[in-house]
Structure 1
Amino acid sequence: MNLEKLKGIFPAFYACYDDVGEISENRTKELCNYLYNKGVKGLYVGGSSGECIYQNLEERKATLKYVAESLRGKCTLIAHVGAPSTRESVILAEYANELGYDVLSAIPPIYFKLPESSIYKYWTEIMNSTDLPFIIYNIPQTTGYSLSLQLLKKLLENKKVIGIKNSSMPVMDIERFKAVEENLIVFNGPDEQYVSGRLIGADGGIGGTYAVMPELFLMAEEFVSTGNFNDARRIQRDINDIIIALCSLNGSMYSAIKEVLKLRGINIGSVRGPLEPVTGEDLNKINEIKQMIDQAISTYLTVRK
């Protein structure tokens, strides 16, 4: 595929529930259209931000379907198909292929501590189930496995491997992965280091806070790509202040994000247990976070002018 389609800002798509906690077609499509109209390059669907490990197979298929119906052919769609078993992952991969997704991606196997031979086999079986290109998802802080250069080199023997979504915190990991294969697409994962990730070699980013403030990440990308590093550093500082505020409340960060989105005119419900909703006095802080986002957007729109 044209790898330029994978360079830029890719929000990690949120789980969209109705008022009783079931997957909502209308709310999923509303979030799709909202993000598309903001100008993002594409979406990463069904990953951590989509609460994938708390959903059954049919629920995950429903979200993949609703997103594809909204945006297939309009922007680049990456389907995260990692699941507890290889069988389920392959089912999701085949379904995403049927729906017209552009790329597949998956975390390594979870729960059991497996040897690299098992991880290699897991990813390879997913890749072999379709003709779609594949992006490795490296997120050691939640899976317990950190992608080794040895396994990466072995996986790259399969031409379907075109990239890595790298969510490990050391920004040096991005540089090391690019050193193995310069043409490998590497996405910065930790939102708090988007600018540094881009400067050390990332081609773009996939992030869990992008969709609550897409304007700021789009401007951060603009500043980096045009060499305006002073404003790139400044906007990253303001983004980090917002992320810290989102994580400071009692309840899941995703619950806080969804409450902020409600104030921005997008209601996608709450979160699914065991993730906890923001409640009580912390709800009063949601408006302050929205104001932080609005103020930062206003500030950097002025800079652009």
Structure 2
Amino acid sequence: MTKHILDGVTVPLVTTMTEDRVPNAGLAEPLLRSMAAANIDNMMLLGSNGEGALLPAEQSTPYAVEAARNWRSVSNGANLFITVFGAGTEIGLRNAHAFMAAEPDALVVAAPLYFGHTEDELADHFASFAQFGVPVIAYNIPRYTGNPITLSLLERLLQMPHIVGMKDSSVSDEYLLGSLALTKDRPDFAVSQGNEKRLGWAMEVGARGVTPGLANIAPKLCMDIVAASRAADWDRVALLQDKLTALTTIHGIRPGLTSMKAALSLLGLSPKTPAAPFRAYEESEQERLRAILAPMLDEIGGTFA
């Protein structure tokens, strides 16, 4: 099968920030080296783990340009994606125009935020990104956008040559199976699964890749799941998946990207500062997180800073 841009592990990288909440790509260097050492396949900047929807373009664009340059200097030809959010199409297009300065290999485009839209309106939104001349990956994350990429809409996106795949973060097994059934005869279109607890299963049923937030912390473990899936070693897949699922317990303290950044700070890979209005973990939360991570360090392949 011809290699697809979404094959393998895509890391939705956190956005490293100074203490005064300014994105700073230089602070990401330890994290980028960790990703390169694991030979991850694709780097995705400014996704939901990267707080892209919270950052103004005047801050996120310089960060993306420098982070892309730094990534290309340490990786072995891995792809670089940039995520585009916006409450409306015009905002999204302006952000995408700015991000093109980073020369992304593809744009990951989310549905508009806040207002609900008809299928025709959403189709128009995704169609408008053809103008950039790079592949577009549709981003299905309805719990944040409120606008799901339904299977009916996906059928329409399949008719748009610039749209080459979808990152599915619906956390719905039924939806993933439906999307894979629609695209099974389209080797030029791939689906990447974002549900961290179901990565092995997603690969088994036909997903071409995975996009787990926990790949920030455990990139090699995620790569090993994909490798075992490709080898159809399902016993090993189950074992590795159990280890990754255990790691999701870090979200039990406070869910989401603040937990991810707090864990990365304990590992010496990233500051814990999140974009406003999120608050960084307090010291008591950090200590609880340290206790959760301590027995998993061998699986992560890291040490406390």
- Whether the TM-score (by the shorter chain) exceeds 0.5 is yes
- With 32-41 and 92-101 compared, the bigger mean Cα shift is at 92-101
State whether residues 82 and 107 of structure 2, in contact with CA within 8 Å, keep that contact through their aligned partners in structure 1. yes
Answering whether residue 81 of structure 2 is matched by residue 81 of structure 1, we say no
Corresponding residue for 1:247?
251
Rate the CA distance shift 1:265–1:284 in 2: closer, same or farther, 3 A: same
Q: Displacement, 1:65?
A: 0.7
Show structure 1 runs of 4+ deviating over 4 A.
Answer: none
For 1:57-108, what per-residue CA distance to the aligned partner results, in whole angstroms no more than 9, with x for missing partners? 1122122212221124831011111222322311232333342211111111
Distance in structure 2 (CA, Å) of the matches to 1:150 and 1:262: 42
* Equivalent AA in structure 1 for residue 252 of structure 2: S
Give 1:215 shift.
Answer: 1.8
Do 1:258 and 1:270's aligned partners in 2 also have CA atoms closer than 8 Å?
Answer: yes
Aligned length: 294
CA-CA distance at 1:34 after TM superposition: 2.6
Hey, what's the Cα distance between the residues in 2 that align with 1:19 and 1:214?
A: 26
Deviation string, structure 1 residues 120-169 (Cα, Å, up to 9, x no partner): 111111x2221111111111222222222221122221111110100111
Q: Which amino acid aligns with 2:154?
A: L
Counterpart contact for 2:108–2:139, Cα < 8 Å? yes
**Which residue of 2 is the match for residue 275 of structure 1?**
278
Q: Does 1:134 align with 2:136?
A: yes
CA contact (8 A) 1:29 1:66 kept: no
Give the TM-score, by structure 1 length: 0.89
Q: Tell me the CA shift for residue 280 of structure 1.
A: 4.0
Q: What SS class does the counterpart of residue 283 from structure 1 fall into?
A: helix
1:105 and 1:137 in contact (8 A); partners too: yes
- Partners of 1:117 and 1:200 in 2: how far apart? 30
Mean Cα deviation higher: 149-158 or 268-277: 268-277
Structure 1 contact 252–275 (Cα < 8 Å) conserved: no
Task: Work out whether residues 194 and 211 of structure 2, in 8 Å CA contact, stay in contact via their aligned partners in 1.
Answer: yes
Distance 2:81 2:8 in 1: 13
How well do the aligned residues superpose, as a CA RMSD in angstroms?
Answer: 1.9
Distance (whole Å) between structure 2 residues aligned to residue 180 and residue 253 of structure 1: 31
1:31 aligns with 2:48: no
Q: Is the contact between residue 29 and residue 70 of structure 1 (CA under 8 Å) also seen in structure 2?
A: yes
Deviations, residues 209-236 of structure 1 (Å, cap 9, x unaligned): 2111112111111221112211211221
Q: Secondary structure at the match of 1:163?
A: strand
- Mapped partners of 1:37, 1:185: distance in 2: 25
Residues 11 and 211 in structure 2, CA contact (< 8 A), matched pair in contact too? yes
User: Residue 216 of structure 2 aligns with which residue?
Assistant: 211
Matches within 5 A, 1:151-190: 151-182=153-184, 183=187, 184-190=189-195
Q: Using the TM superposition, give the Cα deviation of residue 297 of structure 1 relative to its aligned residue in structure 2, in angstroms.
A: 4.6
- What does residue range 1-305 of structure 1 map to in structure 2 within 5 Å? 3-72=3-72, 74-125=77-128, 127-182=129-184, 183=187, 184-244=189-249, 246-249=250-253, 251-297=254-300
TM-score normalized by the length of structure 2: 0.89
Query: Residues 11 and 42 of structure 1 are in contact (CA less than 8 Å); yes or no, is this contact kept in structure 2?
Result: yes
2-structure distance, mates of 1:168, 1:81: 18
Instruction: Give 2:243's aligned amino acid.
Output: D
Which deviates more from structure 2 when the two are superposed, residues 85-94 or residues 44-53?
85-94
Q: Could you say if the C-alpha distance between residues 204 and 292 of structure 1 is closer, same or farther in structure 2, counting changes exceeding 3 Å?
A: farther
Q: Name the aligned partner's letter for residue 41 of structure 1.
A: D
Where 2:69 maps in the other structure, the secondary structure is helix
* Contact 1:82-1:89 within 8 A present in 2 as well: yes
Aligned-pair distance for 1:31?
2.5
